[in-house]
A and B are shown apart, each in its own frame.
Chain A
Amino acid sequence: MELNIRGVSKTYSNGVQALKDVTLTIPAGMYGLLGPNGAGKSTLMRILATLQEPDRGSVRLGDVDVLNQKDEVRKTLGYLPQEFGVYPKVTAEDLLDHFAVLEGIAERAARREVVEALLKRTNLWDVRKQKLGGYSGGMRQRFGVAVALLGNPRLMIVDEPTAGLDPAERVRFLNLLSELGESSVVLLSTHIVEDVSELCTRMAIINAGEILFEGEPLRAVEDLRGRIWRRTIPTDTLPELERQHAVISTKLYAGKTVAHVYSESSPGPDFEEVKPDLEDVYFSAMAGRIGRRHEQKVEVHA
């Protein structure tokens, strides 16, 4: 099972181009889609979840044409949207049971078992008799996870799932996902680099509707070794540093600015080499130093 996205573009009616010719191959396992807010992640996720139409391009899940065989896709799809609500005046148990029937689990005893197992896995068993209107944001999120996991989806799409979770809930949720990732395609969109570095075997970085980078997080970090340099400077000298060097990211530390610079050889005696992490990969790609944009530039020059 593999998800193939080919040349997908989408422009909204207000002129915003949300996706530009997105092409990705997503194998079974955990796949991270990393990008800042407004990069087009949710648009891509909604298209994959059959809720939106791209202007151009094709999407295939194995043999299934995702854009034209929506009913087929929905049989094997689990989708956790970035933002969703629930009926306020119904209990978690009743609503999950309803979704389980819609998922095709017709037999009552089997359904009760599935519902119970999911409520326990998402830590909602003790509050299963509570009306959903009284749930906190995190509880509602976990309810959404339970709905998405119903019927063991072969394609799982989770859009910014950890944004509303506390640290313990986040770990729990990521564990649930990685279990599923052993057999299914799990596509996780996030703006949090740690989500990807902890979980995903493959990843893509997206910005302004364009895929900037696609690869394996571990390889990408390895490839960056020896190219990231650090220098601590007074904050007001940053513009000067930016003029002279390829600054990819800055952080404040004890009132001073710590700048990370991309360079294939030492940029000078004031710099020290840093052991790169996935955040450096992310910022290098965003700055066009590595990945597809960089390759295009190299091609043009050659």
Chain B
Amino acid sequence: MRLREIFRFEFLYQARRVRTWLYFAVLLVVAYMTVKNNSIDEARNNLQLANSPYVIAAATVICNMLWVLMASAVAGSAAARDLQTRMHPLIYTAPVTKTDYLGGRFLAAFAINAMILLAAPIGVVLALTVPPVEAQILGPSRPDAYLTTYILMALPTAFAVGALQFSLATLMRRSVASYLASVLLFVAVSIGAGAIANLWQMPSLGKVLDPIGFITVIGLISKSWTPLEKNTLLIGLQPEMLMKAVLWIAIGFVLLALTHRVFRFGDVAVKTRRSRRAAPRDAQAPA
């Protein structure tokens, strides 16, 4: 019951913030523009369909990438707002377990992020319908392409990246730590997965290790798939993508479990040996 209440309160708190809808709007515009400016032109000039599963996946991973860099505050503030507003003494002394508290907060951030990432499929649909594009470049409508892309690509990304952002912000006790998590992930992915896939010629491993899907879709599939494949195959159902989803969801769970273990309802930061040494000698002890 308490987990549900913490989830409800956090979800509403963030859903009422302008910031949340700004992220949504940015992704909506980006998805819309991507399809309008690139996919439709490409469809007119060659055999690729404007509403192919590939187009949907490409718009999704572009939005995923942008979301990683832009929206880290969603998980960050869910994790650290109590400390940053200094409300933590009130909530840490309430009869709430760690599982309720961390679980409710993380799930609320995940739900908000899932909502923000819905902007990608909605943007694609809008690009194809407002104003409508000519019927010649459209294939049959594929709800399964939207669904598999969202559920098997966008949501696992939101879960794994969100878990990393949330864990770092919880353990470092500040919201900006989630941004650090995003940047680290971004750099590691673009260099790491890109290098594995392209330099060392192991595209399958690169695809599995790329949590955002950007390298996979924009860097690899865009070049290696034929128009027919792009028009028909569901990227989210490719073995590497399923493995990727499983791997990163598992990594997300491990991070959350570790955070749950280390976290304490305490007033003072978890003291490591380093922070102890770093404490200035003349610092005033709290009265």
Contacts of A50 in B (CB 8 A): 92-93, 265
- Say which size band chain A's interface belongs to: 35 or more
CA distance A88 to B84 in the complex (A): 11
CB atoms of B87 and A52 under 8 A apart: no
Query: Which stretch (A22-30, A33-41, A257-265, A271-279) binds chain B?
Result: A33-41
- Say which size band chain B's interface belongs to: 35 or more
Interface of B is mostly: loop
The answer to the question of B192 belonging to the interface, with a C-beta cut-off of 8 Å to chain A, is no
Given A41-B287, A43-B286, A102-B94, answer yes or no on A70-B265 (Cβ-Cβ < 8 Å). yes
What is the 8 Å Cβ interface bit string for chain B, positions 244-287, against chain A (1 contact, 0 not)? 00000000000000000000011110010000100111111111
Contacts of B265 in A (CB 8 A): 50-51, 70
CB atoms of B13 and A89 under 8 A apart: yes
Closest residue of B by beta carbon distance from A100: B5
Closest residue of A by beta carbon distance from B9: A98
CB atoms of A84 and B89 under 8 A apart: yes
The answer to the question of B47 belonging to the interface, with a C-beta cut-off of 8 Å to chain A, is no
The answer to the question of B202 belonging to the interface, with a C-beta cut-off of 8 Å to chain A, is no
What is the 8 Å Cβ interface bit string for chain B, positions 28-54, against chain A (1 contact, 0 not)? 000000000000000000000000000
CB atoms of B280 and A51 under 8 A apart: no
CB atoms of B85 and A102 under 8 A apart: no
CB atoms of B281 and A101 under 8 A apart: no
CA distance A49 to B6 in the complex (A): 21
The answer to the question of A14 belonging to the interface, with a C-beta cut-off of 8 Å to chain B, is yes
The answer to the question of A16 belonging to the interface, with a C-beta cut-off of 8 Å to chain B, is yes
CB atoms of A101 and B5 under 8 A apart: yes
Given A79-B90, A102-B5, A102-B6, answer yes or no on A18-B285 (Cβ-Cβ < 8 Å). yes
Contacts of B94 in A (CB 8 A): 74, 99, 102-103
CB atoms of A87 and B87 under 8 A apart: yes
Which 10 residue pairs of A and B lie closest in terms of their CB atoms, listed nearest first?
Answer: A85-B86, A16-B285, A51-B267, A81-B89, A101-B5, A12-B285, A85-B85, A74-B95, A79-B93, A38-B287
Instruction: Report which B residues bind A (CB closer than 8 A).
Output: 1-2, 5-6, 9, 13, 16-17, 81, 85-97, 265-268, 271, 276, 279-287
